[in-house]
């Protein structure tokens, strides 16, 4: 895709700090570096996001992630890792080429904050929603 910054990085038209590359996947340091070592893992084939990918393409992408994540953690002495994928603008996607963020974690006070709010379970509503999803 001609206007895609990640396609331009893959094509070598824009420089990047590569940490991994094979036939289907490229991983490079995110220029924003939310935490030191923040890495993006992208398929070389353009997909808008994970929702456009088939199982084979997604499998090729995700097969690389554990190895790359371990290398990032080892190199940075991180204590943990958030592995994040955003799909569509409402979910925080800003570049519309599938990518997975590997965000090393060092302390609870670093620059990344992911918070989930727990709710009391409504088991009948959960069962109805699960059935609706299963039948979709």
Beta bridge partners of residue 21, listed in sequence order: 26
**In this predicted model, what pLDDT tens digit does every residue of 76-108 receive, in sequence order?**
999 999 999 999 999 999 999 999 999 999 998
Residue 91: predicted pLDDT: 96
Q: Which of 38, 46, 97, 99 is catalytic?
A: 99
Q: Go through the domains of the chain in sequence order and give each one's CATH number.
A: 3-109 (3.30.428.10)
Residue 114: predicted pLDDT: 85
Distances (CA, A) of 14 to 10, 11, 54, 75, 108: 8, 8, 27, 25, 34
Residue 2: predicted pLDDT: 75
**In this predicted model, what pLDDT tens digit does every residue of 10-55 receive, in sequence order?**
999 999 999 999 999 999 999 999 999 999 999 999 999 999 999 9
Enclosing H/E stretch for 128: helix 123-135
Residues 3-7, mean pLDDT to the nearest whole number: 96
Catalytic: 99? yes
The DSSP call for residue 40 is E
């Amino acid at each position: 895709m001609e206007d895609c910054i990640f396609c331009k990085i893959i094509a070598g038209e824009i420089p990047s700090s590569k940490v991994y590359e094979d036939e289907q996947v490229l991983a490079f340091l995110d220029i924003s570096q939310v935490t030191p070592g923040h890495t993006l893992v992208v398929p070389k084939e353009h997909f808008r996001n994970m929702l456009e990918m088939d199982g084979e393409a997604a499998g090729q992408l995700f097969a690389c992630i554990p190895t790359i994540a371990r290398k990032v953690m080892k190199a940075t002495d991180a204590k943990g890792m958030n592995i994040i994928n955003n799909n569509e603008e409402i979910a925080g996607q800003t570049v519309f080429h599938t990518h997975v963020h590997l965000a090393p974690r060092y302390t609870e006070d670093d620059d990344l904050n992911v918070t989930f709010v727990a709710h009391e379970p409504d088991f009948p509503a959960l069962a109805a929603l699960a059935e609706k999803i299963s039948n979709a």
